[in-house]
Structure 1
């Protein structure tokens, strides 16, 4: 006679097989290497990992956590489909805002949060035989600001970035804290306006002597963002257009959805930007567009 627990277990297995549910879940990694920013690492590894998988770093907003951001976007569910791995770092200081202000975080191998995140990437590449040429970063608000930091300070690690509602690399440099509102309201209010060349020089200062290519960038921002003013979008675009040496080629309206304008720079293979009419802080993550930009999905 089959016991009730075994019947229950069998039913659960049958349900899993029939429904195709995933056994993968978000798990914490406590020993991933040097951790100068004292950040926490969480990772989502799908049941079926692709050979030499791509790696996406998904960065939460101020006040957020890795687990909260994991629930708020679909990168994990899409990982089940495409076989890539998602790292969800979690900040532990300044109201869980990422450090985008100190010289350490803004400098290649300088320390703080950016180096902690890079060490999470290195751990994942080694453990899962990841593709070092397909490492990407995306994030919202403070996570978007950190995406720009990683692209500037570690262009040798990341192949592309997709910041949603952030600000330029180096805008918060020298601020006393990490929260863009409390640390430096000048940046949050869009009052730090530089030439494209000066913004570009800030990026280039993140890794002195670096002569390689920089991560291609897909920048998202809402016109009705009153937390980080829209000028931050303008300054980001100026910054990366200078880094890549490209200028605006054309605008495409109602792309990828109604009210969004896609701005294409050069050939559109290094820099694109999306201005979302009437959207506040922060622009909802468009996973399909991001995965396409990263070359993971069509």
Structure 2
């Protein structure tokens, strides 16, 4: 269990800051301070000593009850709290699931591009500068809204994502989860000069070395660790996609779990979601890779339940990342993982007998025992809802061959109350068709087919040495099973 809110208050000197496109560009142009947020946001003053010279704004749905979660949303460079409020989609998701959103805002007084200091230890470590200011905002939100101290989350774009990663590392006792969009690993850079190396390349660290950077931020802490979502466009040339791989390596190592995916799913917007489950079968880290997307936050304007946000500079029309992130954190459920916020009624019991029947290379057939009083059921694959059948069976299709998937089912009453989730069941699809790719060592690493260590590239799975990690050495890699690659230069 995390400490109670009052115990946290006594220790919360801490780290929370954000930025946005990236601080590496901070010296290139001086922009005016963003205008004060307006139109749905409420300014909050008196939230603490504010050593980081930040402004606090909040969005709170009407009638929000005590005990609701809090999400801290960190804008990008040259952006404002109001821009993030207007375009990110978080207000719509807050209305749907019932939680408060804190929008911190920095200014050109702190940084020429109004970036949070993600690369500066004076702002990005426990108890320092902007970090301390933002954790003071979390404390203030708790006192204003009676928020649940065990359900505090942080999300950010680009340098804001880098800062979010730093906050998760420095304050795992405060944040139950995080989401890093087009961002960087925790403590990747400790200077503005170092920021460019992180942005445009790889530090060639092992997962254990990346994980050590997290553990060093709060020595002696043993868990629980935050659950981390990672969002990255494959055509991002501002924060290179290798950062997403390094984030995956960092947080799976912190959790003590494998870098081999537990499951893979195809989502809207050319998005591939890869899950890495903890020992209980619950996703601890999820990597969302959006094919062809550049640098920005993924949004999907529209009125549908799975749509959110508005397009603008660095808000790109692909998929509603805020919705998927909220579900990954469990914000579509109550604090016990049961009913959706705002839904009444008694929770139905968990369905029994959940089993995987016929399995093919692209499908899994599921069945379970009926629950008295159930009007329908919710089927979750890897923590994401994939169906809502009225009967007691469902066949999940469009899956990847030779891939393990984990499922749970919950009954839904006629009034919409979602019952307790069943025990998880796993199934592995059959078959596999090998594929080959010829590219430079750098491109293989960026695409997730290889990784780096000590300046060399190694094929994922087989660990074959591919030579120096650069754009001059080229190999053909053959994927013989999910996540397992071998060098196949002689033919594929």
TM-score where L is the length of structure 1: 0.85
Tell me the residue number matched to 2:327. 292
- Aligned to 2:168, which of 151, 154, 170? 151
Structure 2 Cα separation of the partners of residues 268 and 275 of structure 1 = 20
Q: Which has the higher contact order (CA 8 A, sep 6+)?
A: 1
Tell me the residue number matched to 2:293. 279
Tell me the residue number matched to 1:260. 271
Structure 2 Cα separation of the partners of residues 48 and 88 of structure 1 = 19
Q: How does 1:230-245 map to 2 (within 5 A)?
A: 230-245=241-256
Structure 2 Cα separation of the partners of residues 280 and 89 of structure 1 = 25
Q: How does 1:1-298 map to 2 (within 5 A)?
A: 25-92=40-107, 93-94=110-111, 95-109=113-127, 111-173=128-190, 175-176=191-192, 184-247=195-258, 248-255=260-267, 257-266=268-277, 267-285=281-299, 286-297=321-332
Q: Deviations over 1:75-132 (max 9, x none)?
A: 11232333210000012222111112233334322x1222211110011111211100
- Of 242-251 and 230-239, more deviation after overlay is shown by 242-251
Structure 2 Cα separation of the partners of residues 47 and 258 of structure 1 = 31
Structure 1 Cα separation of the partners of residues 93 and 216 of structure 2 = 35
Structure 1 Cα separation of the partners of residues 106 and 271 of structure 2 = 31
Per the TM alignment, residue 280 of structure 1 is displaced from its structure 2 partner at its CA by 0.7
Q: Deviations over 1:150-186 (max 9, x none)?
A: 100111110000111100001112x14xxxxx76211
Per the TM alignment, residue 269 of structure 1 is displaced from its structure 2 partner at its CA by 2.2
Per the TM alignment, residue 296 of structure 1 is displaced from its structure 2 partner at its CA by 1.2
1:48–1:83 contact (8 Å) kept in structure 2:
no
* Structure 1: segments with no counterpart, 5+ residues: 1-23, 177-181
Compare the two structures and name the one with the higher strand fraction. Answer: 2
1:48–1:80 contact (8 Å) kept in structure 2:
no
Compare the two structures and name the one with the higher helix fraction. Answer: 1
Structure 2 Cα separation of the partners of residues 96 and 190 of structure 1 = 24
Q: Deviations over 1:229-262 (max 9, x none)?
A: 111111111101100011223452422x142111
Structure 2 Cα separation of the partners of residues 162 and 132 of structure 1 = 18
Structure 2 Cα separation of the partners of residues 190 and 100 of structure 1 = 17
1:288–1:297 contact (8 Å) kept in structure 2:
no
Number of paired residues? 267
Residue aligned with 2:264, SS: strand
Residue aligned with 2:211, SS: helix
Structure 2 Cα separation of the partners of residues 193 and 114 of structure 1 = 27
Runs of 4+ in 1 over 3 A off after TM superposition: none
Per the TM alignment, residue 52 of structure 1 is displaced from its structure 2 partner at its CA by 0.9
2:263–2:276 contact (8 Å) kept in structure 1:
no
Calculate the aligned-residue CA RMSD, in Å. Answer: 1.7
Residue aligned with 2:286, SS: strand
Structure 2 Cα separation of the partners of residues 205 and 71 of structure 1 = 36
1:152–1:169 contact (8 Å) kept in structure 2:
yes
* Structure 2: segments with no counterpart, 5+ residues: 1-38, 300-320, 334-492
Q: 1:139 to 1:265 in 2, by over 3 A?
A: same
Structure 2 Cα separation of the partners of residues 33 and 258 of structure 1 = 41
- Of 242-251 and 35-44, more deviation after overlay is shown by 242-251
Per the TM alignment, residue 270 of structure 1 is displaced from its structure 2 partner at its CA by 0.9
